[in-house]
């Protein structure tokens, strides 16, 4: 599959989840997202209202994280966190699954958690992306997690938080794409810093790219034309 480099820009979630990010950093993130035509900005919940104000007249969506980055908070806290974020202007939620529950084989809990947040997102007409943190999972666990994401009615399965032991890999994107088989989309995130790596992820089946290097990737695209 040959991917047109310019198409990659419309798939990027331009991300700044650094705990030390200042409002000036978020303003720049939003301006870059508008300039390059990215899909969304992804910010910590504290900055959702600010990003929503900056982007209110643009097509760029506001994405935020829930249960981030460990996935170990209680289900009820994640549901409340998602509801607050959507109320304050988020259009998309990237939640981390309950890794303790998944690792312990408590798949019913994982399913209920994702389904509960998916219900909140649907009421707000928002997208739900579910981070399974591939770097901590066996291949069988990745398959199980992806199936639970589909069964719970989420929109995307996402490879990584970017804070785990490893980021996105072409192999994981291919695996997740084969498991969801058109029933959900795939977001690759973590360690994607160049146009070449972004293109590799899209060619492997990624429908979104999460990266904090969106601006430099966009400049690579513009230089290549």
Annotated catalytic, 158?
Answer: yes
Catalytic residue among 155, 158, 172, 207: 158
Query: Who's near 63: CB < 8 A, 6+ residues apart?
Result: 13, 40, 41, 42, 43, 90, 91, 92, 93, 94, 129
Three-class secondary structure assignment of 125-194: CCEEEEECCHHHCCHHHHHHHHHHHHHCCCCEEECCCCCCCCCCCHHHHHHHHHHHCCCCEEEEECCCCC
Catalytic residue among 94, 155, 172, 207: 94
Q: Please name the residue that has the structure tokens 């959507």.
A: 86
Annotated catalytic, 23?
Answer: no
Element (H, E) at 64: strand 61-66
Annotated catalytic, 187?
Answer: yes
- Quote the DSSP letter at residue 46: G
What positions carry a catalytic annotation?
A: 94, 158, 187
């Amino acid at each position: 599959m040959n991917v047109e480099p310019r198409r990659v820009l419309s798939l990027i979630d331009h991300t700044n989840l650094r705990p030390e990010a200042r409002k000036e950093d978020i303003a720049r993130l939003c301006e870059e997202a508008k300039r390059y035509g990215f899909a969304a900005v992804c910010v910590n919940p504290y900055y959702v209202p600010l990003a929503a104000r900056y982007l209110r007249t643009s097509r760029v969506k506001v994405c935020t994280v829930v249960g981030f980055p460990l996935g170990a908070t209680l289900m009820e806290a994640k549901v409340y966190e998602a509801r607050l974020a959507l109320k304050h202007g988020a259009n998309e939620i990237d939640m981390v699954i309950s890794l303790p529950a998944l690792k312990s084989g408590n798949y019913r809990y994982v399913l209920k958690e994702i389904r509960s947040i998916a219900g909140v997102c649907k009421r707000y007409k928002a997208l739900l992306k579910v981070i399974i943190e591939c770097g901590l999972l066996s291949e069988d666990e990745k398959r199980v997690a992806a199936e639970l994401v589909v069964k719970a009615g989420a929109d995307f399965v996402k490879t990584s938080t970017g804070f785990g032991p490893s980021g996105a890999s072409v192999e994981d994107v291919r695996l997740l794409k084969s498991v969801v088989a058109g029933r959900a989309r795939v977001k690759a995130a973590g360690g994607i810093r160049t146009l070449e790596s972004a293109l590799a992820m899209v060619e492997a089946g990624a429908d979104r790219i999460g990266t904090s290097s969106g601006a430099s990737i966009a400049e690579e695209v513009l230089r290549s034309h």
